[in-house]
Amino acid sequence: MNKSKKTTRYIFVTGGVTSSLGKGIISASLAKLLQSRGYNVTIQKLDPYINIDPGTLNPYEHGECYVTEDGAETDLDLGHYERFLNVPTSQANNVTTGRIYQSVIRKERQGDYLGETVQIIPHITDEIKYCIQLLGEGNKFDFVITEIGGTVGDIESLPYIEAIRQLKWDLGNRSLVIHLTLIPYLSAAKELKTKPTQHSVKTMLEYGVQPDILVCRTERPLNAGIRNKIALFCNVESSAVIESIDTDTIYKVPLLMREEKLDQVVLKKMKLPATRTLDLSNWELFINKLLHPQKTVNIALVGKYVELVDSYKSIIESFIHAGTQNNCKVNLKLIQSENIINENVAKILKDVSGIIVAPGFGDRGIEGKISAIKYVRENNIPFLGICLGMQCAVIEFARNVIGLDKAHSTEMNPDTPYPVIDIMEEQKNITTKGGTMRLGANTCLVSKNSKAEKIYKKALISERHRHRYEFNNDYLKMFEKHGMIPTGTNPGTGLVEIMEIPTHPWFVGVQFHPEYKSTVAQPHPLFVNFVKAVIKSKA
């Protein structure tokens, strides 16, 4: 057999009619099914905006910024990919229009296109095709699933659809297109309507792309009549019209797609045998536990972007994994930190048995976070602080236990007399904002006999970072003397990564982001243990 023969298959997932149909979840679910049949799968997201990455975006724009092992600041869909597949992604899994143009313009300046007029076709489309096929290099993956952000018909998406058109031509039956659309139910007519889907497919056809499979989001089941009608009008087989019905949890979607035989239709179209059996038993076990919790606890997530749940996507999902692991439903109450003051904190937090203080940037809502931490510290309520949440715990302790009045982070108050959180040395001369934080996986040495050691059950751990500020080691002795102990440090730099109060039942602040590493297959131990502590404290 010719070793250089390319065998990777490419699946493109586009969206029509409206945004928010769940392309990311469909992509992740299909990937899960193929993975469960023994195939190696990776998923990529192409985002048609001009930012180089979402790192500079306010979470209100596109939700959380997800960070990969290699320190890429990416779209939150990559979080779903990792949570479903339990396989790390990287910068190559998220490409934006900004990144495509940046690369083409750099090449133009280098003289790579000397003499040519640089144009959307072929230069931008070639760059898109390159980024897609990069993941397939070396036949590392059996399948590369590429999700195209946005909705077909948007000006921004055009070069991507054109790149798919060309790739379909180049790759033949090593590629296919899944188009996700909406079948709305009109209550006045008491009918599901297929017209928006027909029009959406027509738009694809105008661009020269015939979808191979239609995944139809719907609130009601699609009967055979509707399926046949969609098939007839959109040039697909009726077996390739897949129902994607609304469901109460995203984790059921792989099971629904299995029922609809999405994976089998894909394999058949790609002329691959569906002989390897599909084993989703662990996934089913998880769903079963998720749907039948034996107890419930209330936990508060104190943050400033609470109006948009997507801002805290990975934290919310981590609690689903950790709750399930504990046979417990975690009622996560999102609380706006701006509304909290010392005088009302007991009332606001009266129904919760644990609190988590969220990551974040800037001054807004900071004093509310500090009040919430004071309350849980004094009342022995389990507390987990993530990144800015840990930094707030340090500030609170400095002010209210050590007595360093007006202690602060220099991010919020550059003139504080007690900069207990300060800018990292290597950050001091950086003036540009994009991609310049301390990003991605870093190792951390965990102290013997600490809570962290009991939780992680090992001395050397690795977690992902996204911050510019850090605990100021000038204050280390003072903190230790008063009972807040660094129990995790970076072995190379000595940066403090974990802070604990050993006299408190469960008080842990982490400078890193454990939420990025929690998956269905491997719920994160910090969240699992935190939920366990909350259950215990409630009992």
Catalytic residues: 387, 513, 515
| Closer Cβ to ligand GLN, 374 or 466, answer by number | 466
State the residue for tokens 């002989």.
Answer: 275
Structure tokens at 106: 């750099």
For residue 7, which of 34, 40, 36, 31 has the smallest C-alpha distance? 40
Residue 401, Cβ neighbours under 10 Å: how many?
A: 16
Cis bond upstream, residue 273 (ω within 30) = no
Residue 407, Cβ neighbours under 10 Å: how many?
A: 23
Side chain identity at residue 95, one-letter code: V
| Closer Cβ to ligand GLN, 22 or 359, answer by number | 359
CB of 435 to ligand GLN, least distance (A): 14
Judged by CB under 6 A, the residue of 468, 504, 517, 524 near ligand GLN is 468
Judged by CB under 6 A, the residue of 165, 179, 374, 467 near ligand GLN is 467
Distance CA 32, CA 283 (A): 10
**From 151-159, 428-436, 461-469, 500-508, span contacting ligand GLN (CB under 6 A):** 461-469
| Closer Cβ to ligand GLN, 24 or 360, answer by number | 360
CB of 428 to ligand GLN, least distance (A): 13
Strands 383-386 and 507-510: parallel
CB of 361 to ligand GLN, least distance (A): 4
DSSP collapsed to 3 states, 35-71 = HHCCCCEEEEEEECCCCCCHHHCCHHHHCCCEECCCC
Distance CA 280, CA 207 (A): 37
Number of residues that bind ligand GLN (CB under 6 A): 10
| Closer Cβ to ligand GLN, 69 or 108, answer by number | 69
**From 182-190, 328-336, 357-365, 492-500, span contacting ligand GLN (CB under 6 A):** 357-365
| Closer Cβ to ligand GLN, 251 or 479, answer by number | 479
**From 134-142, 242-250, 343-351, 460-468, span contacting ligand GLN (CB under 6 A):** 460-468
Judged by CB under 6 A, the residue of 141, 375, 397, 469 near ligand GLN is 469
479 and 485 Cβ atoms separated by less than 8 Å: yes
State the residue for tokens 């992509």.
Answer: 27
CB of 364 to ligand GLN, least distance (A): 12
Tell which phi-psi region holds residue 148, choosing left (phi > 0), alpha (psi between -120 and 50) or beta: beta
| Closer Cβ to ligand GLN, 263 or 422, answer by number | 422
Spatial strand order of the sheet with 469-471 comes to 408-409, 419-423, 469-471
For residue 56, which of 361, 270, 289, 297 has the smallest C-alpha distance? 361
CB of 411 to ligand GLN, least distance (A): 5
CB of 479 to ligand GLN, least distance (A): 18
State the residue for tokens 């102990």.
Answer: 485
- Asked whether position 411 contacts ligand GLN by CB under 6 A, the answer is yes
Judged by CB under 6 A, the residue of 144, 161, 387, 528 near ligand GLN is 387
For residue 154, which of 62, 47, 59 has the smallest C-alpha distance? 47
CB of 420 to ligand GLN, least distance (A): 13
Query: How far is C-alpha 47 from the geometric centre of its chain's CA atoms?
Result: 14
The C-alpha angle with vertex 115 and arms to 113 and 121, in degrees rounded to 5, equals 55
- Asked whether position 466 contacts ligand GLN by CB under 6 A, the answer is yes
CB of 497 to ligand GLN, least distance (A): 12
CB of 9 to ligand GLN, least distance (A): 37
Judged by CB under 6 A, the residue of 359, 368, 382, 385 near ligand GLN is 359
Judged by CB under 6 A, the residue of 177, 388, 495, 498 near ligand GLN is 388
| Start-end of H helices in 235-275 | 253-259, 262-269
| Closer Cβ to ligand GLN, 103 or 427, answer by number | 427
Judged by CB under 6 A, the residue of 24, 136, 254, 360 near ligand GLN is 360
For residue 272, CA distances in Å to 2, 214, 267, 268 come to 19, 20, 5, 6
- Asked whether position 49 contacts ligand GLN by CB under 6 A, the answer is no
Burial class of residue 289, CB neighbours in 10 A (0-12, 13-18, 19+): middle
| Closer Cβ to ligand GLN, 242 or 496, answer by number | 496
| Closer Cβ to ligand GLN, 411 or 463, answer by number | 411
**From 231-239, 260-268, 316-324, 464-472, span contacting ligand GLN (CB under 6 A):** 464-472
Q: Report the interface residues with ligand GLN, using CB under 6 A.
A: 359-361, 387-388, 411, 466-469
